[in-house]
Structure 1
């Protein structure tokens, strides 16, 4: 039917077995071919319209079903990060967060309602716990300051035999003050890590090499007074996908631990390097280090090695550093150094030229 050439038809003519001639018919099929083409085009067009309509209806139905699931998934992520989730009620009051109607099948609306009840309970418990730690740290500062003033005021009335007790009280006050500061820092780090889990923190950028050298200059006199030799090594520039304040805090924790626990006469090496696709700040000491079974517990809150009972500390430094690095999709690596000592390595993603992680 698609041929437009004339068609020839022939039929023999005669009587019995004798053929006396033939009838030849020449037909022009152009009109018929055009008619067939139009009809097939109409059929195909109708089929395409039906398929397009079915596709549009399928997409609308899929969106109707999947849209509440996406919002529910986002709310689950926020809840897992410890943030107040965006509630997804079937019909939320206008003007509030998550006020758009969720829609969807009745089963999904019921699931969203049940999730909201659970989310409110869990979020309230997490927020109360976070506030308890932060408020406790804040509220105890004033009594601590007042207690220290009273102890100092009593110093002038003490007998020489009471000097040892006075020194011990001051030491315990210092330890308690450090503990409160570390608890507040840990609560802040955990909250920040939760925020970064579900928010876009890709705009953060700093020069890890510059931070490393800055912290070296701050800690070198401290190390010298402790009898520790501190050296630093850093290239010209190592862009890291975190803020300079976060990286400086992590570096301070690692240097403080190394200088404190390495001991007199030890050597501590601070090094920054680019290890695609990461930026790494490494602190290595040749002190007593940690055994393999101790490294497993090193980032546990309030854990301290039994061999370091005579050294000041709260056991919260490494957990704080780990939380800060986790918030930036980084990690804290603790490994034994050779021939002795400990190697602590803070790893964060490298930043590209525009500031985002690679």
Structure 2
């Protein structure tokens, strides 16, 4: 402690050691005088005084107590021959006692100092371990630094601690101040460096009038700063990795979108072109029934193409934040009847059951957007239901919403995919090459959410899938 202390530290330690050594010797002298009738008690008492001084204040206190005890012992044991030393035996006894006392003081003092150093090292190790756990938690750099500077205040007795770094051109600063503690004391500036690249600085400030930082405290600050630098570098690399992953996912989504849209546009266009080409072929002879079938195919494929283009435009509105419902009092049962009637040609290969609860209340909704939701749900049910299967539409009322349930007899949706089916362009693992664009359910969820409602996937008895939509009875402000 004496060697590592800053200027002024040695003087304070010596004065404290002298004081404790003197008090220990004085107490030993009093006790020895009280027990002067006991032969040899003085030596044991003064050795105990030296030991107590060394344990209490370290090495120097033990040495001071030993010197004073070697003077006090002859006084206590032979007051009539104080400072006489005319007998060789007295002189030898005093020297031997001084040697023994000094040795005891040195041994006990060193042990006490080692104990203090070990305790300090243990506290520092715990602090560094705690900092390591905090810094390597994988949190964002701002939060990491906020916790870092806050943790350093108490163990190091700081009035304030501040870290300023620059990561990938972004300046990040964190500062912690102990309330009610006057600032303006000794300051230590530690560079934040990783892989020989300077990132910034750490500034630690003690309270006003406090001692400067010791060598050990500077080393502790440097070790903590190195950990912070490693954590910041890791956070920077993690951010770059996430950005790269996001770019890869974005590119993958764009490729999927391009492939899906291209395929879904080409299919109805090919059917329309084939029908029109056949009708325009002068060499081909078509009776009235064949002409009607070709024109019906052209009409159906045109409607399909129109719905696809509408879904793409709606997706663009959703991503631009421009999907705003124009709410008016709307009868959900009437919208359901209209959608089923309009989609009869598409649903011709299925048995359709429409169940409407009586006396359903109107809801504040955009009827056009609600029509689109039901259209997309019925298209999805028709796409995945076996030919000849039953599609059921049930409209009822719950406590705070009108509920529409569209169920089919298809293969169903696995539990782990029931949220993913609402993502744009997702077609499911079981049917990645299905004819759908993967937009219908994504748009349905966006519309329902914009109305403050909820859409989810439920199981049905006997297999299949049920899409459940809840439209609130009262307008919800999002």
Q: Given the two structures, how large is their TM-score scaled by the length of structure 1? A: 0.46
Q: Given the two structures, how large is their TM-score scaled by the length of structure 2? A: 0.35
Larger relative CO (CA 8 A, sep 6+): 1 or 2? 1
Larger-Rg structure: 2
